[in-house]
Structure 1
Amino acid sequence: MSLFLTIVVFIILLIIGVPISLVLAITSLCYLFITGDLTLLETLPKKMYSGLDNFGLLAIPLFMLAGELMNYGGITTRLISFAKVLIGHFRGGLAYVAIVANMFLASILGSANAQAAMMSKVMVPEMEKEGYRRDFSSALTLASSIVAPVIPPSMLFIIYGTLTGASIGKLFLAGIIPGILIGVGFIIVIGFMNRKQNYPKAEKATMKEIMQSFLNVLPALLIPFIIIYGILSGIFTPTESAAVACIIAMIIGFSYKQLKIAYLPKIFINTVINTAVITFLIVAANMFGFIIAYEQIPQTLANMMLSISENPFVFLLLVNILLLLLGTVLDGIAALIILVPVLTPLLGTYGIDPVHFGVIITINLTIGLLTPPVGTGLFIVSSVAKVSIENLVKAILPFLLVSILMLLILTYWEDAVLFIPNLMSE
């Protein structure tokens, strides 16, 4: 009875639009008071603290700080300019630029929401000037941002790795090919749309302009290579790589003469606020996860899955359907923290690689940014780009379908995901 009432509270809070972090915290406390078990209430603070007592989570505020430094330091605009001189002369070139620039930024930022907000400010007005519809430009920018948590570095990979013990370095490497494939899928969609829409194109850049733009952006392009090389060679851990990224971003920003000392307080405040939001979400999700574990829901789900099928292909299909549905109502980080303890005990039974599964779950939950009613990416881009949610949802449908198609391909093509990690471990 107590579990049923708790579920009712959870659903009601979601329906009335309470922020997901508060939903998880309030629901957990309601369960404790409904059961009247004071022992659980005494144990809860320890569980809340233990969820944050992980060295790997330090990478989250550091990568957020790196992203803020890069944005204020002019690195973002240089990446977009470089993509523009490379492919802007093709028909629909600015649409291709939005995708390629997002892939560049994904290798630096690691947050889809931050990237969607940043790129919406830059790309949507620029594309509208060139004759693209605002709803299409906004949808393309939002869809392209989902590669941010897949191409390393990735906050979701860091959280998944700390929860499961999977190698964060291998997760970073495993995200490279999937991130590129998703970007290529979006490029193909634009290619088909080009035939009907006849999108504009820019003048072809000269070789001198290409080289000049490349030299301008080269320091920024070196950041992801330094991070990956440092992790693989053992020079620093994934967490320490985030600190290295901050130092490099600061040096590059000052060298470009766009990062000013006066900007630093604002940069630090933004980082602290965003980190606090995610930290509270992790704490609340750990509270909720404790209740789930106490009610033995993982064991119940495991028995249910095994009763349906012992085939790993069927299991992965069911997991994808479950995650896609939950992604429409749960924030990606909250869903990750809630579901990973439930699902990972089943991986050994079905013989599924934890790193492969980490990539699947990350892509799946990131797709949730594009889906109503709780897709946070939709609300961020709608607010920044000044486009209605209804028009944005309609415009994003082709990209959403391609994202799901790529998810299914990567779910059953394990070698594509694990190719680089296996290559590096030989």
Structure 2
Amino acid sequence: MTIVVILLFFLLLVIGIPISLVIGMITVLYFFTLGNTELLHSMPTQLFSGLNNYGLLAIPLFMLTGELMNSGGITTKLVKFSKVLLGHFRGGLAYVTVVANMFLASILGSANAQSAMMSKTMVPEMEKEGYDRGFSAALTLSSSIVAPIIPPSMIFIIYGTLSGSSISSLFMAGIIPGIIYGIAFIALISIMGYKYNFPKSERPSWTEVWKSTLNVLPALLVPVIIIVGILTGVFTVTESAAVACVVAFVVGYFFYKELKLGKLPDVFSNTAISTATVTFLIAMANAFGWMIAFEQIPQAIANGMVSISENPLVFLMLVNIFLLILGAFLDGIAALIILVPVFTPLLITYGIDPVHFGVVICINLTIGLLTPPVGTGLFIVSSIAEVKFEKMVTSVFPFLVVGVFCLIIITYWESAVMFIPRLIGL
């Protein structure tokens, strides 16, 4: 019967049933086939316990921050500032896309949301300046994978909640990996720029640079307040999200005057829909994890891993290979929620820091946005940028190679990931 349930799980995914419904239905079906009604009676409790966590409150607050900043014109100011700084280099607008994504990563924290938003603005702009549309779309998608790495990060919040790891430590641990990815993509663009003779714009005057810097300072308040507040211990991650909402509103409404009160109903509606989608998935996945624990699947995997090798480096390599394959078929957040209860017990066995492992697993699953056949990022950007899916896949390949290379560095260079959390005593 277990084999039938597993086959049904993959069949439902293939025919397009949302993952949250699939894991919920499979859990109910599995316990129903066992004939143990007491387990089914406990199902509502499991659904509630998956959401009864203070740390999850940061998710809707950070989503609200992102919506407020988009509606308040703050994201536009950040993109313009990046263009003034880097637009005059060869391939300057490509550099702008990477740097702007790094700025926005500290606001949105969602790669899908960021790639969708940036595709609307950067792809047409790059095409106007002479860039290939396929390259522009691939670059926009690839550079958006830093969104879940640089704080604040929704996927770090979910991992921290599931594993019991410090969310503040995860946020700080993501800073250096995010910078590594930014530098790697800029290096790739530099090589491609001279090979394909990318265009460049005129160098701005110092007056223009100064005006743009002054104009963007209020927009930078949000990421600065979040990071500095957490570093100094002034407030927790959840409290920083609430403060960020207030600052985003003040900046958008009073400084830039682009956030109108009439936009607020749409802002709150979008936030509620996004939050409901994520929390429903978390609730269902918690029940699914309960089923996995009941079947002692984590213990079976642990025994299998230990039988292969007791070396933590080999374990990390196997996990990365497994996740890269899985990420091509399963949504990153869904995979994270399902797999964290499986892998967390193994970390003690192998002596791996759960914060370092959290960064590795989150980056790995985010790379799944770039991989066919089910990489959601490919479909989102392909649709918005009006680029054929096949062209998106070929154009994104160099960035995918660089992304995996950076993942290997981050996996085996633990001190780079843990430097900031250890420096500030988290």
**What is the TM-score of this pair, normalised by structure 1?**
0.98
Indicate the residue corresponding to 2:425 in structure 1: 425
Q: Distance in 2 between matches of 1:373 and 1:20?
A: 16
* 1:378 matched residue in structure 2: 378
**1:134-177: per-residue Cα shift (whole Å, max 9, x none)?**
11111100001100000000011111111112111111110000
SS in 2 for 1:242: helix
Q: Distance in 2 between matches of 1:162 and 1:283?
A: 12
Aligned residue pair count: 425
Distance 2:263 2:330 in 1: 34
How is 1:389-400 mapped onto 2 (pairs within 5 angstroms)? 389-400=389-400
Match of 1:402, SS? helix
Residue in structure 2 matched with residue 188 of structure 1 by the alignment: 187
Larger mean Cα displacement after TM superposition, 221-230 or 90-99: 221-230
Deviation of 1:421 (Å): 0.8
**CA offset at residue 253 of structure 1?**
0.2
Alignment pair present for 1:94 and 2:99: no
Q: CA deviation at 1:273?
A: 0.7
Partner of 1:288: 288
Q: Are 1:73 and 2:46 an aligned pair? A: no
Query: Which residue is 2:303 aligned to?
Result: 303
- 1:237 lines up with 2:236 in the alignment: yes
Q: Deviations over 1:274-315 (max 9, x none)?
A: 111111111121121111111100000000000000000000
Which residue of the partner structure matches residue 144 of structure 1? 143
> 1:81 and 1:195 mapped to 2: Cα distance?
24
Q: Deviations over 1:330-384 (max 9, x none)?
A: 1111111111110011111111111101100110011011112221111111121
Is 1:42 the counterpart of 2:13 in the alignment?
no
**1:16-165 paired onto structure 2 within 5 Å:** 16-165=15-164
Q: Specify every segment of 5 or more residues in structure 1 that has no aligned partner in the other structure, as ranges.
A: none
Give secondary structure in 1 for the equivalent of 2:399: helix
Matches for 1:346-385 after TM superposition, within 5 Å: 346-385=346-385
Larger displacement relative to structure 2 (229-238 or 360-369)? 229-238
- Secondary structure, aligned partner of 1:210: helix
Deviations 1:253-272 (A, max 9, x none): 01201000000001111111
Distance 2:18 2:373 in 1: 13
Matched, 1:199 2:198: yes
Shift of 1:23: 1.5
Matched residue of 1:315: which SS?
Answer: helix
Q: Retained in 1: the 8 A contact 2:122–2:140? A: yes
Extract unaligned runs of 5+ from structure 2.
none
Distance in 1 (alpha carbons) for counterparts of 2:163 and 2:71? 35
Mapping of residues 219-238 of structure 1, within 5 Å: 219-238=218-237
| 8 Å Cα contact 2:149-2:174 kept in structure 1 | yes
For each residue in 1:211-255, what CA deviation from the matched residue of structure 2 results, as whole angstroms up to 9, or x when unmatched? 111111111112212111211222211011111111000000012
Contact 2:221 2:247 in 1 (8 A): no
The residue number in structure 1 matching 2:326 is 326
SS in 1 for 2:42: helix
In the alignment, the residues of structure 1 paired with residue 21 and residue 131 of structure 2 have an alpha-carbon distance, to the nearest angstrom, of 39
Report the equivalent of 1:277. Answer: 277
* 1:22 to partner: Cα distance: 1.6
Greater CA drift, 157-166 or 29-38: 29-38
Distance 2:209 2:36 in 1: 67
Residue deviations 1:62-92 (CA, integer Å, cap 9, x gap): 1111000000101111101000010100011
TM-fit CA distance, 1:34: 1.9
Amino acid at match of 2:139: L
RMSD between superposed Cα atoms in Å: 1.0
Structure 1 runs of 4+ with >3 Å offset: none
Instruction: Quote how far apart the aligned CAs of 1:33 are.
Output: 2.1
> C-alpha distance in 2, partners of 1:364/1:295?
26
Tell me what 1:315 maps to: 315
Q: Which residue of 2 aligns with 1:172?
A: 171
Distance of 1:55 and 1:314 partners within structure 2:
35
Partner of residue 248, structure 1:
247
Whole-angstrom distance in 2 between the partners of 1:422 and 1:217: 31
Aligned-partner SS, 1:289: helix
Structure-1 separation of matches of 2:209 and 2:67: 27
Q: Which amino acid aligns with 1:413?
A: W
Aligned residue for 1:406? Answer: 406
Following superposition, the deviation at residue 326 of structure 1 comes to: 1.1
Give the 3-state SS of the residue equivalent to 1:425 in structure 2: coil
Distance 1:103 1:210 in 2: 19
| Distance across 2 between alignment mates of 1:338 and 1:223 | 32
Distance (Å, rounded) in 1 between the aligned partners of 2:374 and 2:50: 25
Name whichever of 279-288 and 414-423 sits farther off: 279-288
Moved more, 408-417 or 231-240: 231-240
| In 2, Cα distance between equivalents of 1:174 and 1:402 | 20
